[in-house]
Structure 1
């Protein structure tokens, strides 16, 4: 009804301006996609009221991850499966879910550090680390993960999404881990 009151030239000018604005917006989004960062690094930590010896079995043994890893909180269909060995260099954990699939492999470990690599959907490789920092009867778990998404234009947008999703997963997982480890440690005393 509004167009009845407008002149034909005004409607054409308005349409041209809308198209120009949309093209300009699309160009800006492409330019941002071309120059924004394509790598991510997420770090989370939590302090548990237990010595590091009580935490290590929960991290170093991949069969225990099903009890605390928050993957299923974000993908109800996700199923974790330990493949090959469950501990040490070469230990391997895979998952298959409705939204994603992946493989995690332990690449090195020491008394206080566990390093792994993660391949998601057969194309996104990242590296992660758990570090245990002891202070008497308390232990701080520092969890870091970093990677890169090198898809042209959309890569940086996927990086932002990955950082957000990964940060939430890590936070939920560490809270789950704190609960199960502290409860088990309390029961053992």
Structure 2
């Protein structure tokens, strides 16, 4: 409730424009570029079963895009999200002999997608209006396809000093 004088002008109500629904994107990339961009179908959420399906798609993508990568050892970096730590996911990782880089809690500065990829993507999409989800997804795919290889290389190499700082602080939370 707002107190005002009886002769005060009426409060203006702003018309809220409904935004597009959220699009959940799972990204797998290395120093040479994008390996897999997996977009969650509308209405679905990420759980361990869905994440393991995405890992299966990753195995398929790697087999065709980077044939030697599976033999040389793919190391995944997971945060502590439930789909990443679930029993089903751990069994999948063990079955396909995938290693995981440990990720201290509350450390987005150690997740290359968070500190290197999604910021520029958000800036690119900022202020743009999309008619529907398909148009948004097309724009996201287009943006990723236009990134040069050195963009990905810089993201991977910038992880090293961040990890060194984390190790020096014995895994304590890192502030800017």
Determine if the TM-score, normalized by the shorter chain, exceeds 0.5.
Answer: no
Question: Which structure has more strand as a fraction of its residues?
Answer: 1
Greater C-alpha Rg: 1
Instruction: State the structure with bigger RCO (CA 8 A, min sep 6), 1 or 2.
Output: 1
TM-score (norm 2): 0.29
